[in-house]
Chain A
Amino acid sequence: MFKLVGATGGYGKTTIIRDVSLEVRHGEVVALLGRNGVGKSTLMRFASGSIPAMAGHVEIDGKVAPTAPEKRARLGLGYVPQGRFVFPRMTVAENIAVAAAATGHDHKAAVAAALADFPMLKPKLDDLAGGLSGGQQQVLALARALATQPRILLLDEPTEGVQPSIIDEMAGILKRINTERGIAILVAEQDLDFCLSIAGRAYVMEKGRIRMEVDRDTLRADTALQQDLLGV
C-alpha cells in the first residue's frame, strides 16, 4: 500500500539517498536499519514530502502521491520525525486537536481517543508541549500523528532519548495499533531489540542505499550480520 520508487534526494546540491526503493504492505510493520548517517532520516523526510524529490516518487495505494506534504497527510500518511518537533507553545491537547482538525476529523473526539491510547498524557493535557520531558514529547508526537487517522505511519528514531520503561510501553502501543487498526508502520531505528520486537522484516541501509532486505528471524539469528551492518 506504500511504496518508495527510485527515491533520490538530499539537501541543496548534496545527494544523501540514491535510488532507494522499498515497500510496506497493508498492515505490515517494517524496520529501516542502519548506522548513524546512512540516510534513514532523509529517507523518512523524502517519504513524508518534507524534502523535494530529485528523482523517484512515493506511491500510496498504487497511485503516485502528490508532492505537498499536507496532501500526503490527508491521504493517510502519518509522520513522527526524529526529535519529535511537537508545537512547543501549544498545549498537549492543542497539539493533538490541530492534527485532527487539519485532516478533517473531529478534534474533540481525537483528544479523547488519544487519552484512551496514552493515559499518561492526561495530567499534562493543559501544559505547553515545550515543557514536557523527552519521552513525553515522543508519546505526544505519536499521539499527534495518530490523530490524523493514518493508514501508514512513518516513525523516525522513536526510542532516541527515551527512558527504557517508556520504550517498552511504546512498543506495546505500536503493536496494538498495528493489529487492532491495521495501521502499517515503517520505523527507522538504531535500537535493534525494539525493532525485533515489533517489525516482521527490515531493510538495511548503507551509504544512502538499501543494502539488503532481511526478515526478523534471519536478522535475529545472524549476529555476524548484526555486527557488520549495525555495529551491535
Chain B
Amino acid sequence: MEADFLATVLLSSLSSASILLIATIGLAVVFGLMGVINLAHGEFLMIGAYTALTATQAGVPYLLSIPIAVAVTMAIGALVEVLIISRLYGRIFDTMLATWGISIAFYQLAVLTFGTVSPGIGMPQISVQIGDYSLALYPLLMNVVALLMLGFVYLLMTRSVYGMKARASIQVPEMARAIGISSSRVNTLTFALGCGLAGFAGAVLLPIVPATPSMGFAFVIKAFLTVVVAGPVTLTGSALAAIGLGGGASVTASFLTSVAGDAFFFIVTALLLWRFPLGISARWRRKL
C-alpha cells in the first residue's frame, strides 16, 4: 500500500472524527452539565444550517452568518428550556420524549418553510496535494475548528464563574442551591449554550453537509451514542469517543464499504457499553 494513500485515508478519517465531534459537543455539554439528553439536538444543528444559508442568500458574508446562526439557536434554545425542559428536570425519559417531540415539530416546520431540498453553498474549491491524491482543504480545516471548540468549552467551564456554577449544579444539585446558586438560571444558560454550539456546528459544516430538514437525524444518533460512550467526564470523554468511533468508522469505510464503517461504529459502541456501562470515563479523576 502506498504511503500517500494511507496518509490521505488517515487525514480524511481524522476530519470525519472532527466533524462528528463538532456535531456532538453541544449535546455533550447539555448532557454532561444538566443530565438532559436533548434529542432535538440535530434539529438545532439544522436550524443553525438554515440560518447560515438564509443569511448568505441574503448577501451576508458566510463567515458572518456563523455568529448569526449561533445567536438564533441560542435564543430558541433558551425559550425551549424555559417553556418545556425546566418543568422536567430529574425525569430523564420525559425530557427525552419531550425533546423528541420538539425535534419532530422543528423538522416539520423546516419542511413547510424550506421544502425538502435546498441548495448548498458550495465548498471553497481549495485542495491540498498528497502524492497522487488531492484532499479538499475545508474538511481538513474542521480538525482545527474541533480543537478550537473543545478549547473554548473547556476554558468556559473551568475558568469562568458560570462554568463553576454549572459544574457544581450537576455534581451535587442540592448543595449547589444551598450555597446560593440559582440552578434554574444556570440551566437555562447551559441549555442555550448547548443549542448555540449545535447551531455553530450546523453553520460551520454547511459547506460539507448541505441544509436539509432531515439533516439532524443523520447526526443525532451518532452524537448521542458518542456522549453515552463518553460518560461523566463529558468533554475529554466525548473527544476520545469521537476520534475512536468516528475515526475508526471512517478508516473502516475507506478500506471496505460505508456500511462496514457504520457497522464498526455500532458494534464498537455496543462492546464499549457492555464493558463500561457508565461510559469510558466513569472512573477518571478529571474535571471535564
Q: Which residues of A contact B (CB under 8 A)?
A: 48-50, 68-70, 73-74, 79, 81, 85-91, 94, 97-99, 101-104, 107, 128, 130-131, 144-145, 147-148
- 9-residue interface stretch from B45-53, B138-146, B170-178, B222-230: B170-178
Residue among B165, B172, B232 facing the most chain A CB atoms (10 A cut-off)? B172
Residue among A69, A91, A128, A144 facing the most chain B CB atoms (10 A cut-off)? A69
Report chain A residues within 8 Å CB of B181. Answer: 70, 98, 102
Report chain B residues within 8 Å CB of A94. Answer: 164, 167
Report chain B residues within 8 Å CB of A97. Answer: 161, 164
Across the interface, do B287 and A101 meet the contact criterion of CB distance under 8 Å? no
B55: Cβ under 8 A from any A Cβ: no
Sample of 21 A–B contacts (CB below 8 Å):
A49-B177, A50-B174, A50-B177, A70-B182, A70-B183, A73-B179, A73-B180, A81-B175, A87-B168, A87-B171, A88-B171, A89-B171, A89-B286, A89-B287, A99-B179, A102-B179, A103-B179, A128-B286, A130-B285, A131-B285, A148-B180
Please give me the residue from chain B that is nearest to A94 by CB atom.
B164
A73-B178, A73-B180 known; A98+B172 contact, CB < 8 A: no
List 9 other contacts, CB 8 Å, given A79-B178, A147-B179: A50-B178, A70-B183, A73-B178, A81-B174, A87-B167, A87-B172, A88-B172, A89-B287, A144-B179
Report chain B residues within 8 Å CB of A86. Answer: 172
Report chain A residues within 8 Å CB of B176. Answer: 87, 102
Complex: A25 Cα to B232 Cα, angstroms = 44
Complex: A131 Cα to B172 Cα, angstroms = 16
The 5 closest A-B pairs by CB, nearest first: A73-B180, A102-B180, A103-B180, A98-B164, A99-B179
Report chain A residues within 8 Å CB of B285. Answer: 89, 128, 130-131
Across the interface, do B287 and A90 meet the contact criterion of CB distance under 8 Å? yes
Tell me which of B164, B177, B178 contacts A90 (CB under 8 A).
Answer: B164
Report chain A residues within 8 Å CB of B178. Answer: 48-50, 69-70, 73, 79, 81
Report chain A residues within 8 Å CB of B232. Answer: 89
> Can you list, as one digit per residue, whether each of B174-203 has a CB less than 8 Å from chain A (1) or not (0)?
111111111100000000000000000000
Across the interface, do A90 and B171 meet the contact criterion of CB distance under 8 Å? yes
Complex: A199 Cα to B174 Cα, angstroms = 27
Across the interface, do A69 and B171 meet the contact criterion of CB distance under 8 Å? no
A50-B174, A107-B161, A128-B287 known; A90+B179 contact, CB < 8 A: no
Q: Which residues of B contact A (CB under 8 A)?
A: 161, 164-165, 167-168, 171-172, 174-183, 232-233, 285-288
Across the interface, do A69 and B177 meet the contact criterion of CB distance under 8 Å? yes
Report chain B residues within 8 Å CB of A145. Answer: 179
Across the interface, do B180 and A74 meet the contact criterion of CB distance under 8 Å? yes
Please give me the residue from chain B that is nearest to A50 by CB atom.
B174
Report chain A residues within 8 Å CB of B288. Answer: 89
Report chain B residues within 8 Å CB of A128. Answer: 285-287
Across the interface, do B161 and A101 meet the contact criterion of CB distance under 8 Å? yes
CB distance from B236 to the nearest CB of A (A): 12
A101-B165, A107-B161, A131-B285 known; A148+B179 contact, CB < 8 A: yes
Complex: A81 Cα to B168 Cα, angstroms = 15
Across the interface, do A85 and B164 meet the contact criterion of CB distance under 8 Å? no
Complex: A86 Cα to B233 Cα, angstroms = 17
Across the interface, do B167 and A90 meet the contact criterion of CB distance under 8 Å? yes
Report chain A residues within 8 Å CB of B175. Answer: 79, 81, 85, 87
Complex: A144 Cα to B179 Cα, angstroms = 8
Report chain B residues within 8 Å CB of A49. Answer: 177-178
CB distance from A131 to the nearest CB of B (A): 6
Report chain B residues within 8 Å CB of A147. Answer: 179
Residue among A73, A74, A98 facing the most chain B CB atoms (10 A cut-off)? A98
Across the interface, do A99 and B180 meet the contact criterion of CB distance under 8 Å? yes
Please give me the residue from chain B that is nearest to A48 by CB atom.
B178
Complex: A174 Cα to B168 Cα, angstroms = 25
Complex: A223 Cα to B285 Cα, angstroms = 48
Please give me the residue from chain A that is nearest to B160 by CB atom.
A101
Residue among A48, A81, A90 facing the most chain B CB atoms (10 A cut-off)? A90
Report chain B residues within 8 Å CB of A144. Answer: 179
Report chain B residues within 8 Å CB of A81. Answer: 174-175, 178
Report chain A residues within 8 Å CB of B168. Answer: 87, 90, 98, 102
A48-B178, A70-B182, A145-B179 known; A85+B165 contact, CB < 8 A: no
